[in-house]
DNA sequence: AAGACGAAAGTGGTTGA
DNA sequence: TCAACAACTTTCGTCTT
């Protein structure tokens, strides 16, 4: 990506630009000489909406950010900070300070300053942070925000860390929107472990009555494929293999990521775009052994001919 | 030397009594 | 709550390219 190349030259470091690699997964720039993580600069997908009708334009083109479920108060207000400091961080003079206390009081009165609000404010921060690192689309974020809101309203967050419930909401949103992210990927960006997030995830589906479509290995292919820099043809091939496997009911109970990995491995062999099992396994978040096992199964059951 | 393969033991999560 | 169980991981030795 051109953009990333540009960023490399702007990073404050002694590393030569061509020694820097970009980890698209984490959104980090890493220096290959020192192993140092230089900066986690991510493209923030800002307001992006279009007006289709004149009325819409009228309504939407007024000042202020877009309405969004990912901001706790839907992005409508400015918050006066509780610290008695000005923008540069200096203490305010006593007189000014009193003034601000007055302002703040009014602001608090003018909003419903419930615990729910405060919880949401913090949660939406977390959500944005994690979603940024996972490079999730706006649609997924909105979905996650809505799910989280419901969870708060149902009192499901009490006794659990905000972060883990947020992470679980994101996971649910990903599943619903068919954006494959594994629990491991999500937990890698949080302080909580996978187990806790999985527990929250189960709670969410149960309590909110959410029906989650079964994870489909095919959904993993485009992303894994692009990380491996495979051609579209190879990805198509991998998808076909999964389809065949599904018809033969070979997919039940198997880790979808492992299946996708195996299908990709086979496709690379068939299309002569060889990748090692290790490369694929790393990206899929499974081990070589699993790739191998699935690969063996698939080849056998589908009677595939693997060229030398 | 790196990759592929497979056996064997270990791990974490689910299920069912 | 516990044990059985399936899928997956870890580890390691061997074979292949």
Note if the pTM is more than 0.75: no
Could you tell me if residue A226 is inside a domain?
yes
Give the pLDDT mean for A111-134.
80
**Cα dihedral A296/A300/A301/A307 (nearest 10):** 100
Q: Is the CB of A300 under 7 A from strand B?
A: no
Q: Is the CB of A70 under 7 A from strand B?
A: no
Residues A202 and A75 placed together within one structural domain of the fold: yes
Q: How confident is the model at residue A103 (pLDDT cuts 50, 70, 90)?
A: low
Distance CA A96, CA A124 (A): 31
Could you tell me if residue A142 is inside a domain?
yes
Closest CA to A15 of A48, A45, A38, A39: A38
Alpha-carbon torsion (A5, A132, A26, A237), positive or negative? negative
Alpha-carbon torsion (A250, A185, A133, A25), positive or negative? negative
pLDDT recorded at residue A209: 84
Percent of chain A exceeding pLDDT 90 equals 26
Whether A204 and A156 have beta carbons less than 8 Å apart is answered as yes
Residues A72 and A199 placed together within one structural domain of the fold: yes
Q: Distance from first CA to last CA of chain A, Å, rounded?
A: 34
Residues A24 and A116 placed together within one structural domain of the fold: no
Residues A97 and A180 placed together within one structural domain of the fold: yes
Residues A188 and A292 placed together within one structural domain of the fold: no
Q: What domain count does chain A have?
A: 3
Q: Is the CB of A285 under 7 A from strand C?
A: yes
User: Which residue carries 């991510």 as its tokens?
Assistant: A42
Residues A209 and A224 placed together within one structural domain of the fold: no
More confident position, A198 or A104: A198
pLDDT digits (tens, 9 = 90+) for A150-165: 888 888 888 888 888 9
List bases in chain B with any atom under 7 Å of a protein Cβ. Answer: 2-8, 12-14
Could you tell me if residue A61 is inside a domain?
no
pLDDT digits (tens, 9 = 90+) for A180-205: 888 888 888 888 888 888 888 888 88
Q: Is the pLDDT of residue A94 over 80?
A: no
Q: Is the CB of A217 under 7 A from strand C?
A: no
Q: Is the pLDDT of residue A145 over 50?
A: yes
Among the listed ranges A83-87, A145-149, A252-256, which one has the minimum average pLDDT value?
A83-87
Could you tell me if residue A62 is inside a domain?
no
Mean of all residue pLDDT scores within chain A: 74
pLDDT recorded at residue A184: 83
Could you tell me if residue A60 is inside a domain?
no
SS3 category, A142: helix
Reading phi first (left if > 0) and then psi (alpha if -120 to 50, else beta), residue A125 is in alpha
Closest CA to A265 of A285, A243, A294: A294
Residues A160 and A111 placed together within one structural domain of the fold: yes
List bases in chain C with any atom under 7 Å of a protein Cβ. Answer: 6-11, 17
Top-confidence range, A39-43, A106-110, A304-308: A304-308
Give the pLDDT mean for A219-248.
91
Residues A160 and A268 placed together within one structural domain of the fold: no
Q: Residue A285 is part of a domain; what is its CATH number?
A: 1.10.472.10
Give the pLDDT mean for A210-223.
86
pLDDT recorded at residue A55: 41
Distance CA A184, CA A292 (A): 21
Whether A150 and A208 have beta carbons less than 8 Å apart is answered as yes
Could you tell me if residue A194 is inside a domain?
yes
The whole domain housing A6 covers: 2-39
pLDDT recorded at residue A157: 82
Task: Please classify residue A286 by burial: count the beta carbons closer than 10 Å to its beta carbon, then call 0-12 exposed, 13-18 middle and 19+ buried.
Answer: buried
- CA A78 → C1' C13, Å? 65
Whether A47 and A65 have beta carbons less than 8 Å apart is answered as yes
């Amino acid at each position: 990506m051109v953009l990333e190349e540009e960023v490399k030259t702007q990073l404050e470091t002694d590393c030569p630009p061509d020694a820097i690699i970009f980890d698209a997964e984490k959104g980090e720039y890493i220096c290959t000489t020192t192993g140092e993580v230089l900066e986690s600069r991510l493209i923030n997908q800002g307001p992006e909406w279009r007006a289709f009708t004149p009325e819409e334009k009228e309504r939407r083109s007024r000042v202020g950010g877009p309405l969004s479920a990912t901001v706790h108060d839907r992005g409508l207000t400015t918050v006066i900070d509780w610290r008695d400091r000005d923008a540069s961080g200096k203490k305010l003079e006593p007189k000014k300070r009193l003034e601000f206390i007055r302002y703040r009081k009014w602001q608090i009165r003018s909003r419903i300053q419930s615990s729910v609000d405060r919880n949401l404010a913090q949660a939406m921060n977390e959500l944005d942070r994690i979603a940024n690192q996972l490079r999730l689309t706006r649609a997924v974020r909105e979905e996650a925000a809505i799910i989280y809101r419901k969870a708060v309203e149902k009192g499901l967050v009490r006794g659990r860390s905000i972060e883990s419930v947020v992470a679980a909401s994101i996971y649910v949103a990903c599943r619903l929107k068919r954006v494959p992210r594994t629990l491991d990927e999500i937990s890698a960006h949080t302080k909580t472990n996978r187990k806790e997030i999985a527990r929250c995830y189960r709670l969410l589906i149960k309590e909110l009555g959410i029906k989650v479509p079964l994870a489909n290995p095919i959904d993993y292919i485009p992303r894994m494929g692009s990380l491996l820099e495979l051609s579209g043809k190879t990805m198509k091939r991998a998808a076909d293999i999964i389809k065949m496997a599904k018809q033969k009911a070979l997919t039940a109970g198997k880790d979808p990521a492992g299946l996708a990995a195996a299908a990709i491995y086979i496709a690379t062999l068939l299309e002569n775009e060889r990748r090692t099992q290790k490369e694929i396994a790393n990206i899929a978040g499974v081990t070589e052994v699993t790739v191998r096992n699935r690969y063996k199964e698939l080849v056998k059951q589908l009677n595939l001919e693997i060229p030398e």
